[in-house]
Amino acid sequence: MTKATGAAGDPPYLRIVAGIRQRIADGELAPGDRVPSTRQIAAQWGVALATATKALTTLRLEGLVEARPRVGTVVAGGALTAPTRRGPASSSTPDSERELSLDRIVRTAIGIADAEGLAAVSMRSVASRLGVATMSTYRYVPSKEDLVLHMADAAFGEESYRADAPQGWRARVELGARTLWGLYRKHPWLAQVGSLTRPLLVPNLMVHGDRMLAALDGHGLDPTTLFDIHVLLYSHVQGMAVHLEMEAHAEAVTGQSEDQWMDGRAADLRNLVESGRFPAFAKAIGSFENGYDLRLDALFEFGLKALLDGLTPLVEGPGPSGR
């Protein structure tokens, strides 16, 4: 079991922080190197997962480590010169606070969410990253809930549509769906914000929805059918995108890629296949020469084509051809 080098009276998480900080200072862990995952920390130091998580969070707030989607938690690029403060920045930083703005707060929060997931975003973590007092951020945004809405609106606003839209309803729908997919790819946490039953009512998401509805309009569809199709197409994009954030979170927590995770469960899969209880599953798995490669981008395109192929008679049947 590893022993940390912090003071004996420190809480366990601070002793872990001190130990990893020392490894970074000694050059044992260089910028870009993966640091132990929460599970590895829990095993090495003999602590609970919650304590391990708190230690990594503290290191992130100090700027020593950062979480990278599909990689895990690694030593930050400027870790060797990063300040090692244990709390939010002091309010005695007038220059930073004078430069503070809603846009800076939102963009900083988006950067945290992109790297570490939405759960890592808080008013305190944003303030720490900006080097200002936590209360300073509340002058621009009243709560985390409001901050997340601003984040989503800004993220959805990063892509717009040219005036010369492609011809035909299908090409326009494909453009809208792929534009949204690209935004979810860039910001995986977006799929965790809002739902079909409680949608995000932010202007820049409405831009994408309005484009989709305009592409489907004028084909004789009744209003309910028109909107149902719009919701179904959006749910395909968002539903696939949910797995982007889930996988990024799983890699950060376990330190394993999806391939590594599956390799570790090869025996479980083999037992299921050889049990004789699932003949169709066994037949499908047995037909692959090199195993099944789950590719979210390919599945997104496959699902979009299947949806549009199925919807074409409905959209084009009652009205003029959209092609």
Alpha-carbon span 6 to 22, nearest angstrom: 10
The fold adopted by the segment(s) 169-316 is Tetracycline Repressor; domain 2 (1.10.357)
Dihedral over alpha carbons 26, 29, 30, 32 (to 10 degrees):
-160
pLDDT tens digit sequence for 6-41: 555 568 888 898 899 888 887 888 888 889 888 889
The 10s digit of each residue's pLDDT in 173-203 is 999 999 999 999 999 999 999 888 988 899 9
Looking at residue 95, its pLDDT comes to 53
In the prediction, which pLDDT does 298 show?
Answer: 95
Q: 0.75 cut: is pTM over it?
A: no
CATH class of the structural domain 88-156: mainly alpha
Residues 94-151 pLDDT 10s: 455 668 899 999 999 999 998 888 888 999 899 988 988 888 899 999 999 999 999 9
| C-alpha to C-alpha distance for 204 and 62, rounded to whole angstroms | 33
Q: How far is CA 251 from CA 27, 53, 67, 97, 201, in A?
A: 24, 14, 10, 35, 31
Pick from 107, 110, 106, 111: which is nearest to 141 by CA? 106
Closest by CA to 107, choosing from 140, 135, 67, is 140
How far apart CA 126 and CA 47 sit, in angstroms, is 28
> Residue 70 pLDDT > 50, yes or no?
yes
- Tell me the two tokens of residue 306: 């299947």
Asked whether this chain's domains 1-86 and 88-156 adopt the same fold, the reply is yes
Average per-residue pLDDT in the chain? 85
- H-type helices in 165-257, by residue range? 169-186, 203-216, 223-254
Beta partners for residue 67, in sequence order: 73
Asked if residue 319 has pLDDT above 70, the reply is: no
- Two tokens at 65? 């480590």
Domain layout of the chain by residue ranges:
1-86, 88-156, 169-316
Q: Which residues pair with 75 in a beta bridge?
A: 65
pLDDT greater than 80 at residue 77: no
Higher pLDDT: 92 or 128? It is 128
Quote the CA–CA distance of 231 and 226 in Å, as a whole number. Answer: 9
What integer pLDDT is reported at residue 98 of this predicted model?
A: 61
Q: What is the pLDDT of residue 78?
A: 60
Of 26-35, 66-75, 197-206, 311-320, the range with the highest mean pLDDT is 197-206
Task: Give the separation between CA 11 and CA 18, rounded to whole angstroms.
Answer: 11
CATH number listed for the domain at residues 1-86: 1.10.10.10
